Amino acid sequence: MCAPVDPRVARRYLLKRRLGKGGLAYGIVWKAVDRRTGEVVAIKKIFDAFRDKTDAQRTFREITLLQEFGEHPNIISLLDVIRAENDRDIYLVFECMDTDLNAVIRKGGLLQDVHVRSIFSQLLRATRFLHSGHIVHRDQKPSNVLLGADCTVKLCDFGLARSLRDLPEGPEGQALTEYVATRWYRAPEVLLSSHR
């Protein structure tokens, strides 16, 4: 399992397999089973979540935004937040999805036009919902679009999301950086809102 798991997490959840790892040793995600309920979940361990201001902001944003918007059918549900005994790491427990859009695209040949339309429609609904709350995700990419076997879409990873509500209007409103996320990719809403 690579990274050690906090005892209180191991008591409650049986880790099945690693699903992924975040960039720059930011975190790791496992598929797990809740020992009490039998529910299959995804557990994201964020290493040293509050080591500096940037990491603390990302962790705080992800938790608060998911608590606020997680009831939407196309946004991943945050089920629990568990503080590690070392007071540095934090565990986020999510509903578990089958795969992500990046894996489906890489596999090739799985998506028909009807799937593409459904995925795109659900992703637009999630984006519209966030924008109605004056939130921009800023990291919408295929690996952050989770998919269920029935083609259900859930948008995840809100660490780079920002509120537009508190930004001043006019030229002084240029508070959002355009250089976020991965080096070779810019989320559409980052490019389209670059004038802000």
Q: Which residues are catalytic?
A: 139
Give phi and psi for 192, each to the nearest 5.
-75, -25
CA distance 37 to 165: 39
Are the beta carbons of 122 and 129 closer than 8 angstroms? Answer: no
Instruction: Choose among 66, 24, 185, 166: nearest CA to 176.
Output: 166
CA distance 167 to 176: 9
Are the beta carbons of 92 and 62 closer than 8 angstroms? Answer: yes
Q: Which residue has the tokens 């005892």?
A: 7
Hey, is 140 helix, strand or coil? Answer: coil
CA distance 125 to 187: 16
What's the N-to-C CA distance of the chain in angstroms? 43
